[in-house]
Amino acid sequence: MPGITDPAEEYFKDGLWGWVTDAWKKLVATAGGALHIQFAGQEADVEVTQTAAADLTPGVCGWDGLVWRKLPLLWGYSDRWAEVLGGTQSGAGSYEKFTTAVPAGQVYVLEFVAFQNNTGQRGDVTIGIKDGTYIYSLDAFTTPTQYKTCTWFGRMTLKAGDQVKIIQATCVNGDVLYGVAWGYKMKVAE
């Protein structure tokens, strides 16, 4: 099989191949679930065993144009993610609330943020993402009225350390604020 390192070759579009002794052979799964290798019209049973710890590396590999590498994880869902961002303002000034930072080993996907001041009309509201250093604005609302829900819908991927932040300017002591961030979690295996 010449040119096995060229993903444009027909073999990359035609099933699963494996290196057997000194040549690439097509691997075929039968209806019964057995794995066979075809040799010029003949079939041979293959039993896969792990003789050394590093023989069978978990994961799927792909050609990146230069070398074979382990492919990144497929996108998945591990659990729902929801955090309350509301509270009662203590003292006069801006109300600022962060979600818990995304833990190592996970990715969060933010899909919805809602915020409102249930006490009165106050200053501007900003919904953003903090990456540990900078805050990036997702949306801003100019002096929303009392009970006006400021919402952001979309899809934002957050990695370890990232946080959602809500800010409302010029709140007064005792303001009751409602806020929530919603999305899902995905575990990331190294």
Regarding pTM above 0.75, the answer is no
Q: What is the mean predicted confidence (pLDDT) over 124-136?
A: 96
d(CA 76, CA 62): 19
Over residues 97-127, the pLDDT tens digits come to 999 999 999 999 999 999 999 999 999 999 9
Q: Give per-residue pLDDT as tens, 34-63.
A: 555 555 555 555 555 545 555 445 556 777
pLDDT at 152 over 90: yes
pLDDT in tens, 2-32: 545 555 555 554 566 666 667 776 666 665 5
- What pLDDT shows up at residue 166? 97
DSSP β-bridge partners for residue 79: 185
In the chain, domain spans? 10-70, 79-187
The residues, any chain, with a CB within 8 Å of residue 173's CB and separated by 6 or more, are 89, 90, 91, 92
CATH of span 79-187: 2.60.120.260
Check pLDDT > 80 for residue 175. Answer: yes
In the chain, the largest separation of any two C-alpha atoms, in whole Å, equals: 82
